[in-house]
Amino acid sequence: MHIPDGFLSHGINAATFIISAGACAYGVKRVNRNFGEREVPLMGVTAAFIFAAQMLNFPIAGGTSGHFLGAVFSSVLLGPWASLIIMTIVLVVQCLGFADGGLTAIGSNIFNMGIVGSLGGYSIFFILYTLFQKSRKGFFIALAISSWLSIVMGASAAAIELAISGTSPLKVALPAMAGIHAIIGIGEAIITATAVSLILKTRPDLVTSYVPPTLPSPSRGEGEGGGGKEVFHEKSS
Amino acid sequence: MKSRLDGFILIGLGISLLLALFLSPYASTSPDGLEKVAETKGFSEKGESWKHAPLPDYSIPWIKNKKVSTALSGLIGTIAIFFIVLGIGRLIKKNRSKKILLLILLSYFISLALTLTSAFAARPLTTDDAGTVEKGVFQLELGFDGIRQDNHGRELSPSLILSYGLLEQMDLGIGSGYLFFHPKEGKKENGFADTELKLKYRLIDEKDWRPAFAITGPLKIPTANESKGLGSGEADFGINAIATKNLSKRLALHLNLGYTFIGEDHVDNALNYSLASQFILSDKWALVGEIVGVNNMNRRHGDDPLSGLIGTYYLITDKIIWDAGLEIGMNKAAPDFRFTTGLTLLFKP
């Protein structure tokens, strides 16, 4: 989904650059507010994982490939604003170091994958998780849907930018982009849910968005509440 | 608890490095979603990426073996990202958030400078350029500023500056504004701002490696109401040195250094400095950025404001230019945010 130079008009690039820079400035301020000794290395390792995982293109139908984005993944771990910062740094490094995504399109790429992906994706996750009354099952359903949507929405934003730039009309670009990324998004949902469930099993305290279901008594907690039990022990130790 | 976190970081980093090293060479090389759409819808040839990337397309150029090349570039990238985020994260934590943003912006502008091969600065920059208004031409700058102070007091201010080209190398400008001051607590005030009269003389034109050089003499006439707290009620005057250098057809830098003699009693004179960059995106659009600081001539550093601005301007026609900018204060002495937008109108035959 990394847009190269030449696809978008300068007007779009300038507008998204200013929006992205403003959002990052606010993001830095927000992150600053609740940042402790623990969060910095966590942010580093999350970014490193996202960068490595983004290299792993998996094949989908019709000679096309897709790769993990990690916007919802990092949002659920560290919060949407920290996720925006991570996505921004990853995108800038990919652009400057690896010629992946254009330099003039950097604002648009941060907008599509950071603002739409992280902030938009997390908003949807949060709404769904709340609707599911913060149950464990609801957490994973919300996670899968929001990470799928983060890809589809990001791709749709890219299609709209392409259309405004006059590169490809909206009625051509939007179905094509959303269509392909609806398939890639399934990969995103699977990877995100798997990775988060692994972290939840080993270090549930690191998934800041997860609210462990309150248990009636510490002795119970078999089956569905298995994860919750671990959480309980984590907190009491 | 801390050692357990270290363990998690190491395992996470280890997994990431293994992915980059052993799986990335076997990743699908098919076009990704966007590339595929670009191919089938016929706009893929428009795309180009940055030609100066050290590891283009996740490969190390001098390593022939494709798989080794991809694996090693992935390894380098993963380690680099980890340390970059660690570094930026540390800086954020140390409450230097605004400086980081500026650092990022600055490196962005520097990287733009590296990529490319004449510009004039004006609104929305605070930094002055060495150019003068053409002889016999009037220039009118209409501006609208919204400021939020650190103590959450707000200021709105429309302003007007009229400049006239006296000679080929000299112009004279006069400008003032109207202030609406809304403190967080206390009474709202409004009234005329101070008036500034400014003479600019360009001493040297840009040639070869030599930047253009100009000096200005700004004079502040105290038209703002002192009792309402809108101004000092005293005149100030200063001298500014300006250097402008076009690094390429698209990129120009402007450096200002000035000294202001403050008329008000018990207020120290001020040294002001700023650096601006201006990047022409197309024949209509340009991006601008700057860092502006003032050093009050005393030993305290807490009262020296420092801020950064990013903005854009758009040439509606060759005589009407629209602009907008966002300034972010980097310390307590500078306003939290300032938004500015305006029009520059040129009256020439």
Q: How far is A91 from chain B (nearest CA, A)?
A: 10
Which domains does chain B show, CATH number per domain? 2-94 (no CATH), 138-347 (2.40.160.40)
> Which of A70-84, B64-78, B216-230 ranks highest by mean pLDDT?
A70-84
Candidates A56, A112, A202: best to mutate against B (most CBs of B within 10 A) is A56
Is the pLDDT higher at B46 or at A129? A129
pLDDT mean over A200-205: 88
- Residue B348 is predicted with a pLDDT of 74
pLDDT mean over B105-126: 56
Average pLDDT score over chain A: 87
pLDDT at A146 over 80: yes
CA distances in angstroms from B335 to A101, A226, B111, B155, B247, listed in the order given: 35, 52, 28, 10, 31
Cβ-nearest to B37 among A29, A58, A176: A176
Alpha helix (H) residue ranges in B198-333: none
Q: How far is B216 from chain A (nearest CA, A)?
A: 31
- pLDDT-derived band at A231 (thresholds 50, 70, 90) equals very low
pLDDT mean over B268-292: 87
Chain A hits for B284, Cβ within 8 Å = 10-11
Is the pLDDT higher at B336 or at A219? B336
pLDDT at B116 over 70: no
Cβ-nearest to B85 among A89, A181, A202: A89
Cβ-nearest to A63 among B30, B100, B112: B30
- Residue B261 is predicted with a pLDDT of 85
Chain B hits for A85, Cβ within 8 Å = 88, 92
pLDDT mean over B68-89: 88
Look at B36 and A180 and tell me if their CB atoms are within 8 Å.
Answer: yes
pLDDT at B208 over 90: no
pLDDT at B103 over 70: no
Rounded to whole angstroms, how far apart are CA atoms B225 and B227?
A: 6
Candidates B34, B58, B330: best to mutate against A (most CBs of A within 10 A) is B34
Q: How far is B51 from chain A (nearest CA, A)?
A: 7
Q: How far is A132 from chain B (nearest CA, A)?
A: 30
Rounded to whole angstroms, how far apart are CA atoms A27 and A82?
A: 7
- pLDDT-derived band at B217 (thresholds 50, 70, 90) equals confident
- Residue A227 is predicted with a pLDDT of 40
- Residue B104 is predicted with a pLDDT of 62
Is the pLDDT higher at B119 or at B240? B240
Q: How far is B248 from chain A (nearest CA, A)?
A: 16
Interface A-B, measured as beta-carbon pairs within 8 A, has a size of 254
Its pTM surpasses 0.90:
no
Contact B202, B233 (CB under 8 A): no
* A26-35 pLDDT per residue, tens: 888 888 777 7
- pLDDT-derived band at A220 (thresholds 50, 70, 90) equals very low
Is the pLDDT higher at B92 or at A2? A2
Please, what is the angle between helix B33-40 and helix A136-164, to 10°?
30
Please, what is the angle between helix A39-54 and helix A80-98, to 10°?
50
- Residue B94 is predicted with a pLDDT of 61
Look at B43 and A167 and tell me if their CB atoms are within 8 Å.
Answer: yes
CATH number of A10-212: 1.10.1760.20
| Lowest mean pLDDT segment, chosen from A58-72, A98-112, B86-100, B155-169 | B86-100
pLDDT at A49 over 90: yes
Look at B19 and A102 and tell me if their CB atoms are within 8 Å.
Answer: no
pLDDT mean over B125-131: 87
Whole-complex ipTM: 0.85
CA distances in angstroms from B131 to A44, B155, B252, B284, listed in the order given: 45, 30, 12, 19
Q: Where are the domains of chain A?
A: 10-212
Of B139, B122, B163, B130, the residue nearest B311 (C-alpha): B122
- pLDDT-derived band at B109 (thresholds 50, 70, 90) equals low
* In the block, residue with structure tokens 């102070």: B149
- pLDDT-derived band at B107 (thresholds 50, 70, 90) equals low
Contact B125, B276 (CB under 8 A): yes
> Which of A59-68, A137-146, B187-196 ranks highest by mean pLDDT?
A137-146
- pLDDT-derived band at A46 (thresholds 50, 70, 90) equals very high
- Residue A78 is predicted with a pLDDT of 93
* Closest residue in chain B to residue A1, using alpha carbons only: B34
pLDDT at B225 over 50: yes
Angle A56-A57-A63 from CA coordinates, rounded to 5° = 160
End-to-end CA distance of chain A: 44
pLDDT at A205 over 60: yes
Look at B47 and A85 and tell me if their CB atoms are within 8 Å.
Answer: no
pLDDT at A85 over 70: yes
- Residue B130 is predicted with a pLDDT of 85
Average pLDDT score over chain B: 82
* Closest residue in chain A to residue B8, using alpha carbons only: A203
Percent of chain B whose predicted confidence (pLDDT) is above 70: 89
Concatenated DSSP letters of B282-312: SSSEEEEEEEEEEEESSS-STT--EEEEEEE
Look at A13 and B104 and tell me if their CB atoms are within 8 Å.
Answer: no
Cβ-nearest to A32 among B77, B82, B92: B92
| Lowest mean pLDDT segment, chosen from A129-138, B15-24, B80-89 | B80-89
| Lowest mean pLDDT segment, chosen from A174-183, B14-23, B39-48 | B39-48
- Residue A40 is predicted with a pLDDT of 87
Q: How far is B53 from chain A (nearest CA, A)?
A: 5
pLDDT at A95 over 80: yes
Rounded to whole angstroms, how far apart are CA atoms B187 and B228?
A: 10
Contact A231, A211 (CB under 8 A): no
> Which of A1-5, B59-63, B113-117 ranks highest by mean pLDDT?
A1-5
Q: How far is A17 from chain B (nearest CA, A)?
A: 10
Cβ-nearest to B58 among A55, A96, A162: A55
Position A215, amino acid? L
